[in-house]
Structure 1
C-alpha cells in the first residue's frame, strides 16, 4: 500500500447508514481525484452505522490507497463526524462534503481555487446563484431553510447567504484551529464553525456552487430545526462565557490514537 505523504487535499465524508449510496459516492470522488491528478486523501467517517457502510468503505480502502476509513466509537452525530475527520486530515487544504454529493465533487475545485487565491476558508453556497440548483427543494423546505438562515444571520451575525451547505474547505491551519474549538456535534455545527472562524480572524469566501436536492435527506425541519435554533443560543452562550478560548478536552481518544499511528507510519515512510 502506497502511503499518501503530505497530500495537497483531504476530502472528509461523514457517513451514517449509507450502504445504498456510499459505494457510488466513493466511485465518483475517486474518479474525480484520479482524473484531475489531485494528490489527495479521502477520509470517510463511519458514524456508528448499523448497516454495512463500514465494510463497503473498507473494500474501497483495500483497493485504493487514497481512501481511509475512520470509525466513531458510536453514533455521535454529523458535527462530531466532521470534526473527527477534519482533525485527522493531513492535506494542505481540507474539505468536507455530504455523502449524497448534493454538490458534485468537481465543484471542490472552486473552493480550492478560492483558498489558493488567499482565503482561509471557502464555503459553498446554494443561494448566491439559485440558477445553479439542478434539482430544487420542495417549497416547504425552501421556506424553512431560508427562515433558518435568516435567523442564523441575525443571532450569529454571520454575513453569508448560506451557512448550511455541507460543502466547505479550509486551510489545514484554519481547520485545526476551528475544529478543536467546535462543541456542537449534531446538525447545527455549521454556523458554529463559521462563528468561531470569524472570531479568530480567518478570511471566509462564499462561493456559488452547483447543487441538487436529494429527496432522501434525513433532516426534519420541525424536529431538527428546533434543535438547531437551540444550538444557536448555545453558541452565543459559549462565546459569552469564554468556552471558545480553549480546545475541546474530550476529543475521541481512539481518533487521537489513530492519528498518532498515522503520523508514525508517515514518518517511517520518509
Structure 2
C-alpha cells in the first residue's frame, strides 16, 4: 500500500511546556484537520525535565497525526528545529513556537505567499501591517530591536523581524537548509535565512497577527549574549563559504 502523501508538516520545538501544551496543540490539530487534512504534526521535545514528553505521548490518542520526537538532552531551540525539519515529510513545512503567539490561522497567509513562488515565507511583527494584539514587555521589545539592528549591521539581511516563531518552507528549501545548519540556539532563525540567501532561495517577509503569551522560556540577558555570539559565528561561516552548496562555491 503506497504511503499517504503529506501536504503540510507542522514542526513545533518544546521544552518544559507541560503547563501550556494541550490547548494550543489541540486547537492547531482541529484547524489543520479542516483546512489541511493531509498533514502531520511533529512536536520535538528538546530534553524536557517535566512531564512534557509524557503528555505528548498521551495526546497522540487524541491527535492521530501527532508524532513525538525527542532530543536526549536540552540542546537548544535550533537543534530541536533541525530535528523536526529532518523528519518532516510534507510538501510544505510550517514552523511555529509552542505558544502559537502567531495563531495557526495565520498559516493560510504564509501558504498563499509560498504559492506565489517563494521558497521561504517568514511571519513578521515589524512591518507596517503587522497586527500586534498583545505586546511583549518593553524590555523584550527593546532588546529585540537592538538585536535586529546588530543583525542588519553585520550580516547581509534586510528583514524587519528574523525572530518571529512562525515560518513556512517548501520541501526544496528544507533539503537545502537542514544539512547546513550549525547553530543550536535562538540565532538559528538568522542562520536559516542566511543559508537561504546564500543558496538563492526566494524569501518573503509578510505581516502577521501576533499576541504575546506570558511565561516565556527566554532568559533575556543570557539568551541575548548567546545570540550575539552566534551571530558572529554565522558571519564567520558565511565569509568562509560554509553555507553554499558545493557546486556554487
Q: TM-score, normalised by structure 1?
A: 0.87
- Does the Cα contact within 8 Å between 1:4 and 1:65 map onto a contact in 2? no
| CA RMSD, Structure 1 to Structure 2 (Å) | 1.8
- Distance, in Å, in 2 between the alignment partners of 1:55 and 1:90 is 24
- Does the Cα contact within 8 Å between 2:13 and 2:80 map onto a contact in 1? yes
- Distance, in Å, in 2 between the alignment partners of 1:132 and 1:109 is 16
**Superposed, which structure 2 residues align to 1:161-180 within 5 Å?**
161-180=160-179
- Distance, in Å, in 2 between the alignment partners of 1:142 and 1:176 is 33
SS at match of 1:243: coil
- Does the Cα contact within 8 Å between 1:121 and 1:202 map onto a contact in 2? yes
CA displacement at 1:94 relative to structure 2: 0.5
- Give the structure 2 partner of residue 148 of structure 1: 147
- Give the structure 1 partner of residue 156 of structure 2: 157
- Give the structure 2 partner of residue 215 of structure 1: 214
- Give the structure 1 partner of residue 60 of structure 2: 61
Question: Mean Cα displacement is larger for which, 163-172 or 50-59?
Answer: 50-59
Q: Deviations over 1:138-172 (max 9, x none)?
A: 22221111111111112112111100001011000
CA displacement at 1:113 relative to structure 2: 1.0
- Which runs of 5 or more residues in structure 1 are unaligned? 248-270
SS at match of 1:170: strand
**Equivalenced residues, count:** 246
CA displacement at 1:245 relative to structure 2: 4.4
- Distance, in Å, in 2 between the alignment partners of 1:236 and 1:120 is 22
SS at match of 2:179: helix
- Distance, in Å, in 2 between the alignment partners of 1:37 and 1:78 is 26
Q: TM-score, normalised by structure 2?
A: 0.94
- Which runs of 5 or more residues in structure 2 are unaligned? none
- Does the Cα contact within 8 Å between 1:123 and 1:205 map onto a contact in 2? yes
**Superposed, which structure 2 residues align to 1:31-110 within 5 Å?**
31-110=30-109
- Distance, in Å, in 2 between the alignment partners of 1:25 and 1:66 is 15
Cα distance change on mapping 1:131 and 1:197 into 2, 3 Å: closer
- Does the Cα contact within 8 Å between 2:198 and 2:244 map onto a contact in 1? no
SS at match of 2:80: helix
- Distance, in Å, in 2 between the alignment partners of 1:192 and 1:37 is 29
SS at match of 2:183: coil
- Distance, in Å, in 2 between the alignment partners of 1:181 and 1:133 is 33
- Distance, in Å, in 2 between the alignment partners of 1:131 and 1:244 is 30
CA displacement at 1:215 relative to structure 2: 2.1
- Distance, in Å, in 1 between the alignment partners of 2:41 and 2:137 is 31
- Does the Cα contact within 8 Å between 1:86 and 1:95 map onto a contact in 2? no
CA displacement at 1:37 relative to structure 2: 4.2
